[in-house]
Structure 1
Amino acid sequence: MSRGAIVRVLIALAGLMGGCGVALAAMAAHLPDAARLGSASSMLLFHALAAIAAVLLAERGLVRALPGLLAACGFEIGALLFTGDLTLRQFAGFGLFPMAAPIGGTTMILSWLVLAAAALAPPRQQ
């Protein structure tokens, strides 16, 4: 897969995350006992924007490209695990797998650190 295709997929996934985040926010506001969905919504919305920002920073050359794109992937994978686990627990009564939410949260934290490192690393000479 070309870098351009990867970038488009990451942005498309971030768009889906944003849409799902808004939907979960509406459900959290209208369904009884849906506090988990509020947290899931916030994580999706914040990390959708973070993924888009990381991609754009990498594409503009403001951060190192590979770690910038890896950070975007991490934001999306981490958010999927975290919010998928919370949402499944809300609607099905069980989670994705043991420790899915903490693994997702840790992945998002590490992705923020990767993005910071990508910004501090000297740019590659062309």
Structure 2
Amino acid sequence: MTLFRRLIVLLAGLFGMAGVAAAAAGAHAFSDPALTTAATFLMIGACALAATAALAIAQGPGWSFADVSGGMIALGTALFSGALAGRVVWNVVIFPMAAPTGGTILMAGWLVLALAAFRRRSG
């Protein structure tokens, strides 16, 4: 497994953990629905990252659309969920338009994952 794919799997675990923590914080400490949205996207992102890493490994060595989509989904999830959670929990703004930027990257990442269906077998 390449270093990049290991990073994607590591992020999957961290996003899953952060999603559970955000859901717990939303249920017990904060009443803002944006935190629930952040938790949901972190959990979905965690599953997506694990899936993109598995698909990329199954497709063999070398870069694939699965690798690219994993990177995009990781970045988009971090920006989108980070912007929402940061505002709710710490009253911090990562940068203006961080959530919409992250959401746009996420949508593009899902489209790139769809392109992975068209990879031809080598050999």
Same fold (TM over 0.5): yes
Q: Would you say 1:36 and 2:34 are equivalent positions?
A: yes
1:6 positional shift: 1.3
Q: Distance in 2 between matches of 1:91 and 1:99?
A: 18
Which amino acid letter does the alignment assign opposite residue 88 of structure 2?
A: Q
Partner of 1:59: 57
Residue 105 of structure 1 corresponds to: 103
**What aligned pairs does 1:84-103 form with structure 2 within 5 A after superposition?**
84-103=82-101
Q: What TM-score does the superposition give when structure 1 sets the normalisation length?
A: 0.89
- Output the CA distance in 2 between the equivalents of 1:12 and 1:111: 18
- TM-score norm. by structure 2 comes to 0.91
Structure 2 gaps, min length 5: none
Partner of residue 49, structure 1: 47
RMSD: 1.7
- Percent of paired sites with the same residue: 35
Deviations 1:26-83 (A, max 9, x none): 0111124231110000000001100110110111119x94211110111111010001
Pairs aligned (count): 122
Unaligned runs of 5+ in 1: none
Write out the 4+ residue segments of structure 1 that deviate beyond 3 Å after TM superposition: none
Please state if 1:122 is matched with 2:95. no
